[in-house]
């Protein structure tokens, strides 16, 4: 039975390996290594208040994971999080786990008072869980985007007004090549 949980800390040691394996299978070895390293960096360097991990676990086997980290908009009172990276174990993909896990993570963030969530990915897939293309005037990315069409987001509070001012990501994302 699939269990969704935000108790990610107990399994921190396993998470970079999940991201590495999933992205190696889908995008090749270099990308796998890079996303595994990004996950390790996020888990090791992000202040507790600025990071949420959600897991899908099936009979103690890790089936999926999403990390959410804070985007600081110093000129806007709203709380904004970035959803990245997202991975479902290769042999468990396309059975609904990804969408369930995204929905679970968004609800956790909403209950924590988070107002807006952005991600950088395929608008078709993430559109299934409420993400819509946004422009840089709706929420300014922390760095220039190489694929602006992948900048997508959704309000969790109903407030659709643009987020004010520039943004800062957590240090693990502070690398232009990730954007
Ligand atoms: C992308 C990913 C998270 C989706 O999770 P999943 O559990 O396989 O997806 P779900 O079963 O919830 O959703 C399946 C649906 O999304 C579609 N879908 C799955 N992966 C997709 C992709 N990469 N692009 C577009 N559509 C995709 C399927 O066709 C299916 O459509 P349907 O509901 O109309 O049948 C997962 O496949 C994965 O980890 N992929 C490799 C890593 C990756 O690309 N991560 C995202 C970038 S950070």
Q: Which atom of ligand 1 is closest in space to residue 97's alpha carbon?
A: 7
Relative to beta strand 80-88, strand 116-120 is parallel
Identify the pLDDT of residue 124: 96
Nearest protein Cα to ligand 1, atom 21: 125
CA distance to 18, 39, 64, 113, per residue, from 14 (Å): 7, 10, 11, 28
Identify the pLDDT of residue 129: 97
Q: Which atom of ligand 1 is closest in space to residue 26's alpha carbon?
A: 41
Å from CA of 99 to ligand 1 middle = 8
> What distance lies between CA 83 and its chain's CA centroid?
2
Å from CA of 174 to ligand 1 middle = 26
Token pair listed for 68: 């959410």
pTM: 0.95
Å from CA of 83 to ligand 1 middle = 15
Domains of the chain: 2-178 (3.40.630.30)
- Taking the C-alpha atoms of residue 147 and residue 90, their distance in angstroms, rounded to an integer, is 25
Tens digit of pLDDT per residue, the chain (179 long)? 899 999 999 999 999 999 999 999 999 999 999 999 999 999 999 999 999 999 999 999 999 999 999 999 999 999 999 999 999 999 999 999 999 999 999 999 999 999 999 999 999 999 999 999 999 999 999 999 999 999 999 999 999 999 999 999 999 999 999 99
Q: Which atom of ligand 1 is closest in space to residue 95's alpha carbon?
A: 11
DSSP states along 100-137: HHHHHHHHHHHHTT--EEEEES-HHHHHTTT-EE--TT
CB of 66 sitting under 6 A from ligand 1: no
- Taking the C-alpha atoms of residue 87 and residue 133, their distance in angstroms, rounded to an integer, is 21
Identify the pLDDT of residue 74: 97
Nearest protein Cα to ligand 1, atom 27: 125
Identify the pLDDT of residue 159: 95
CB of 96 sitting under 6 A from ligand 1: yes
The DSSP output letter for 165 is S
């Amino acid at each position: 039975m699939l269990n969704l949980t935000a108790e990610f800390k107990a399994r921190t040691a396993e998470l970079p390996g999940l991201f590495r394996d999933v992205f190696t299978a889908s995008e090749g070895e270099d990308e796998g290594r890079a996303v595994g390293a990004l996950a390790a960096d996020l888990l090791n360097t992000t202040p507790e208040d600025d990071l949420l991990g959600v897991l899908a676990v099936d009979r103690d086997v890790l089936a999926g994971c999403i990390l959410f980290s804070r985007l600081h908009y110093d000129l806007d009172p709203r709380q904004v999080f970035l959803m990245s990276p997202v991975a479902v174990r290769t042999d468990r993909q396309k059975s609904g786990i990804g969408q369930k896990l995204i929905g679970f993570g968004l609800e956790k963030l909403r209950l924590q008072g988070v107002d807006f969530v952005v991600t950088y990915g395929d608008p078709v897939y993430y559109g299934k869980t409420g993400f819509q293309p946004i422009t840089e005037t709706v929420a300014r990315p922390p760095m220039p985007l190489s694929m602006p069409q992948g900048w997508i987001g959704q309000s969790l509070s109903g407030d659709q007004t643009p987020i004010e001012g520039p943004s800062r990501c957590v240090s693990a994302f502070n690398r232009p090549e990730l954007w």
